Structure 1
Amino acid sequence: MSTAATLPMAAAPARPATNKWLVTVSVTFGTLMGAIDSSIVNVALPQIRGAVGATVQEITWITTGFAIATVIVMPLTAFLGRLFGQKRVYMLSLAIFIVGSALCGVASSLEQLVIFRALQGFGAGALQPTEQAILRQTFPPKEQGMAMALFGMAVMVGPAIGPTLGGYIVDNYHWSWIFFINLPVGVLGLFMVWRFVHEPEDIRAANQAASKELRGNLDWLGIALLAVGLAALQFFLEEGQQNDWFDSSLITVCALLSVAALALFVWRELTAKVPAVNLRLFKDPVFTSGTLIGAVMFAILLASMFLLPLFMQELLGFTAMQSGLALMPRVLVMMLVTPLVGRLYGKVSARLLIGIGVLLVAYGAYDVSHITLASSSEGITRAILVQGIGFSFLFVPLTTAALSNVPRARLADATGLNSLLRQVGASMGLAIFATLLSRWGSHARGSLVAHLSPDRPEVQERLSALAAGFAQRGFDPVSAREAALRALDGIVTRQSMVIAFEQVLLLTGICFLCVLPLLFFLKVNRRGSGEKVHVEMEM
């Protein structure tokens, strides 16, 4: 297999290489749509819930189903590529995603919507890892940083613009258009991949050689354990907060099932003759450290994308559209800075770039943790711009460095695992920080209520002022007093949530500083085996 992966150029039929920018645009369509769809639905949940007659808890299944399907497919991308070809897997995945989008738009019941969203997720799961591998194989060694910068813009920007785009569509059109909008873009992307993306000769030869051995030793047990373990883990992370975690027997069973299934999966893959997922890639400390830091980065990124809009909408009274627009400058600065970091990657130490990124993200978290009820959208935007620059300094060197020692024939394996840990990291970040937000909010409320003694003159003064205000609106004395008490309770609740938000946002920065020791293992070999020249060939 290693021989096939490094075929000399003279052995391949000569053909003009496709323009790398056309390849990039072609494969980015699907990845961007998949990344947007991971978050765009969230702002439309109230409208969808009313249309299909679901409860608040039931409607979350349309996001949970998508997430579970996505993580199951990600690590199997290389396995599928060896069986059917890398380009065919990407096109089939994109086609499944398009069909799933169309079916979601016409769904008339909750059951249909959950099934069709899962179908969407199965299609979206292979798009990110396959694009990452295709770009690494298409760009020459000196431009690997730029290739990952272009990939990073789709992966990071997609979840950021999803809520804003979804808010605009929901405010002006029917909710089904958050799915229908994928159809023309997806069809265009499908055509461009068919026309401009071609599998490199060395990758095709390696996959053909591996396919013969793979077909005779299909690792069905490993695939089954992987599917069960990841499905249980993702359900545990997505639904745990709503079900009070281990107070729920269902969540407890899912946690135990995921641990058992994934432990057996690791044992199976390390002992199988032809494993479905190549876990031995984690023997490379560069790949392992880069992937783990990337998982933490996405945990912080997705947590901040969840927490800040929630703060603005719940406490500042912003609409979904307004909160999305307030966060848009961070997206724009990431789009501007990421390509610049891609150019710097070949000239500056990856560890230096990542270290700068970690410090900027941590400082941005410290800055944004000082938001209050008096904060304006402009003040919040200024605070998160630093984080946007920090994320830009992180994604390109992390993704590029993590794959620097991976042979070309194993890039699809590595990108699948890399994408999986990013996705699981993001889910863990959301689960952990959402739980802490709720618990710290309750704790802060208890602390504040303890100081609201009726004997304190400050409390009596505030209640009298509130009661007087209600009396001026026509309330009788008894009703005014009751309304004043309720108003004071609301003020306490709001202030306790502000304290909780500040603490959680500050914690995200502190957690990020904890990954700095992993930079010691991130020693990049810029002439690694993953940077061999290739020749492209029609499928």
Structure 2
Amino acid sequence: SIFGKTRCFFAGVLLFGIGSFLCGFSWNLESIIIFRALQGIGGGALIPLSQAILRENFPPNEQAKAMSFFGIGIVLGPGLGPTIGGWITDNINWNWIFFINVPFVIIDLLLIFIFILDKSEKFSKGIKIDYFGLITMAIGLGALQIMLEKGQENNLFSSQFIVNLAIISFISLVLFAIREFTCEKPAVNLKLLKNFGFFNPTVIQGIFGMGLFAGLFLLPILFQESLGYSATEAGIAMIPRSISMAMFMPIAGRLYNRIGGKKMVMFAAALTSLSLVPLSFMSLNTSAWDLFWPQFVQGIAFAFIFVSLSTIALMALERKDIVSGAGLFNLVRVLCGSIGTAVFATQLENNQIINRAYLTEHIVTNSPYTVQGFMTNPATILSPLTTSPAISKFFAGINQVLMIQGASAADLNNKAYAMLSNFVDRQALIMSFNHVFFELCLLFCVAFVLSLFLVERKSSWHKE
């Protein structure tokens, strides 16, 4: 509102580039956190400003099509990023994950200056900045994010540190909400949530944000720790979703004007939920091909949701609220994505511990001492006398293989027990993934129910 959309867009890209460049020179964890924050400040404004600029330059019958082409770039990033990043990590150096952004930023700045930057935009004087709202939001969301990420490491609310973060987050966010609902020029216009036509798609967007970000977090762990892929192979295995999203974005843009956004969102929610069913029944024999189709189907669903949901939400607003609405809409997506990632990461770890204990009980005798011993030091506690006939047969087969490989007789049992322990760990992890993906499946069922109440409205602000 003060400097103009296109100037802020240019500044955001520039700040993101500077942050990327500095991240490449990070010398410790603290420095990379600071420079990543700088990246976030610049990059955080790009998507809502891009959407606002598109909305103001395309009539309603072309907005879905414009969003579909805009979305191709958005979805290719998460797909190609892990692949390129994995290859760079394996073959060059992690610093170049950040340096590689710099030439693209320079090209972006030139294109923005030539085609987008509106030098006729006037500076608006006298507009008050809601510093109190910005500060309370930053403190509240920052404390919440740290609490979610560190909660598992510190045994959640048994840690005074986590309790303090929860109190700080709660108080800050309450003050933030009160301020935004009462301030004449709020930093984040929460009053827009009173509009059900905007509120409902924003909630659905939050659910899809959880699924998208949680998937980007969980799948590399699944590929690398459970299935034994390298970083590069894991990145390649994640490409199918981005490919299908890029393929179906233009199709979704054309379908929007024919069948309407509500039906597209319903279809996307149902399709995503169904695609998560096979991911809820994986085993250690699951191959990359078994995971190809669920990811490909999810990409189709996310293409439909990206084009339709943002169009439905922003068309429900007046012209003056488009920038604020786009910012809030994307804030919910990112915030829910962060919350979802933290929650499902905690679920993954907790379920793995429970599953390992369950599997251990079925490998050894029911003696609590034996079970606990196997969980802490399997090589010294287990013996052939405490195992079932099936496990004894397993050890016999492993010992033969180890002897062929040249292992000494003294090391046979220790190596066999270590292999069994590793197998149990991997099996417990894959079972944990099954639980988490099933929970995500149920979450998208909720999104489907909410999509039944979507309201599509025709906006007239484009005629102004």
Taking the aligned partners of 2:175 and 2:285, their CA distance within structure 1 comes to 52
Task: State the aligned residue count.
Answer: 443
Match for residue 312 of structure 1 among 223, 226, 230:
223
Contact 2:265 2:304 (8 Å CA) reproduced: yes
Q: Structure 1 residue 521 and structure 2 residue 453: aligned?
A: yes
**Alpha-carbon distance, 1:168 to partner:** 1.9
Q: Structure 1 residue 245 and structure 2 residue 188: aligned?
A: no
Residues 229 and 529 of structure 1: CA distance in aligned 2, closer, same or farther (over 3 Å): farther
User: Match for residue 173 of structure 1?
Assistant: 92
**Alpha-carbon distance, 1:198 to partner:** 4.9
Taking the aligned partners of 1:277 and 1:298, their CA distance within structure 2 comes to 19
Match for residue 258 of structure 2 among 336, 341, 347:
347
Taking the aligned partners of 1:481 and 1:174, their CA distance within structure 2 comes to 39
Residues 266 and 104 of structure 1: CA distance in aligned 2, closer, same or farther (over 3 Å): same
User: Match for residue 69 of structure 2?
Assistant: 150
Q: Structure 1 residue 484 and structure 2 residue 402: aligned?
A: no
Unaligned runs of 5+ in 2: 366-385
Cα deviation digits, residues 359-417 of structure 1 (max 9, x gap): 11111111223332222222221232111111112111111111111112211100110
Give the SS at the match of 1:273. Answer: coil
Match for residue 493 of structure 1 among 425, 434, 439:
425
Q: Structure 1 residue 415 and structure 2 residue 347: aligned?
A: no
Taking the aligned partners of 1:381 and 1:508, their CA distance within structure 2 comes to 18
Contact 2:243 2:296 (8 Å CA) reproduced: no
Taking the aligned partners of 1:244 and 1:533, their CA distance within structure 2 comes to 56
User: Match for residue 272 of structure 1?
Assistant: 183
Taking the aligned partners of 1:106 and 1:328, their CA distance within structure 2 comes to 29
Contact 2:12 2:42 (8 Å CA) reproduced: yes
Cα deviation digits, residues 134-154 of structure 1 (max 9, x gap): 111111110111122233333
Residues 273 and 316 of structure 1: CA distance in aligned 2, closer, same or farther (over 3 Å): closer
User: Match for residue 437 of structure 1?
Assistant: 348
Match for residue 228 of structure 1 among 139, 151, 163:
139
Residues 147 and 240 of structure 1: CA distance in aligned 2, closer, same or farther (over 3 Å): farther
Taking the aligned partners of 1:115 and 1:241, their CA distance within structure 2 comes to 24
**Alpha-carbon distance, 1:155 to partner:** 3.0
Contact 1:368 1:384 (8 Å CA) reproduced: no
Residues 248 and 482 of structure 1: CA distance in aligned 2, closer, same or farther (over 3 Å): same
User: Match for residue 442 of structure 2?
Assistant: 510
Taking the aligned partners of 2:278 and 2:79, their CA distance within structure 1 comes to 20
* Stretch deviating more after TM superposition (338-347 or 144-153): 144-153
User: Match for residue 337 of structure 1?
Assistant: 248
User: Match for residue 208 of structure 2?
Assistant: 297
User: Match for residue 45 of structure 1?
Assistant: none
**Alpha-carbon distance, 1:278 to partner:** 1.4
User: What is the correspondence of 1:15-34 to structure 2 with a 5 Å cutoff?
Assistant: none
User: Match for residue 274 of structure 2?
Assistant: 363
Cα deviation digits, residues 310-358 of structure 1 (max 9, x gap): 1111122111111111121221111010111011111112121111111
Contact 2:225 2:426 (8 Å CA) reproduced: no
User: What is the correspondence of 1:90-109 to structure 2 with a 5 Å cutoff?
Assistant: 90-109=9-28
Contact 2:75 2:246 (8 Å CA) reproduced: no
User: Match for residue 465 of structure 1?
Assistant: 397
Q: Structure 1 residue 378 and structure 2 residue 310: aligned?
A: no
**Alignment RMSD (CA, Å):** 2.1
Residues 411 and 223 of structure 1: CA distance in aligned 2, closer, same or farther (over 3 Å): same
Amino acid at match of 2:236: L
Cα deviation digits, residues 101-141 of structure 1 (max 9, x gap): 22222333443332222211111111111111111111111
Taking the aligned partners of 1:89 and 1:295, their CA distance within structure 2 comes to 25
Residues 106 and 490 of structure 1: CA distance in aligned 2, closer, same or farther (over 3 Å): closer
Amino acid at match of 1:458: A
Taking the aligned partners of 1:94 and 1:471, their CA distance within structure 2 comes to 60
Amino acid at match of 1:151: F
Give the SS at the match of 2:254. Answer: helix
Given the two structures, how large is their TM-score scaled by the length of structure 1? 0.78
Amino acid at match of 2:348: L
**Alpha-carbon distance, 1:99 to partner:** 1.4
Contact 2:7 2:117 (8 Å CA) reproduced: no
Contact 1:406 1:414 (8 Å CA) reproduced: yes
Contact 1:405 1:529 (8 Å CA) reproduced: no
Amino acid at match of 1:282: L
**Alpha-carbon distance, 1:279 to partner:** 1.1
Taking the aligned partners of 1:233 and 1:433, their CA distance within structure 2 comes to 15
Residues 200 and 263 of structure 1: CA distance in aligned 2, closer, same or farther (over 3 Å): farther
Amino acid at match of 1:479: D
* Stretch deviating more after TM superposition (117-126 or 234-243): 234-243
Given the two structures, how large is their TM-score scaled by the length of structure 2? 0.90
Taking the aligned partners of 1:190 and 1:473, their CA distance within structure 2 comes to 59
**Alpha-carbon distance, 1:239 to partner:** 3.3
Amino acid at match of 1:386: V
Taking the aligned partners of 1:322 and 1:306, their CA distance within structure 2 comes to 15
User: What is the correspondence of 1:73-112 to structure 2 with a 5 Å cutoff?
Assistant: 82-112=1-31
**Alpha-carbon distance, 1:282 to partner:** 0.3
Give the SS at the match of 1:521. Answer: coil
Taking the aligned partners of 1:407 and 1:465, their CA distance within structure 2 comes to 71
**Alpha-carbon distance, 1:477 to partner:** 4.4
Residues 151 and 251 of structure 1: CA distance in aligned 2, closer, same or farther (over 3 Å): farther
Cα deviation digits, residues 3-24 of structure 1 (max 9, x gap): xxxxxxxxxxxxxxxxxxxxxx
* Stretch deviating more after TM superposition (146-155 or 490-499): 146-155
Taking the aligned partners of 2:291 and 2:451, their CA distance within structure 1 comes to 30
User: Match for residue 285 of structure 1?
Assistant: 196
Amino acid at match of 1:485: Y
User: What percentage of residue pairs aligned between the two structures are identical?
Assistant: 35
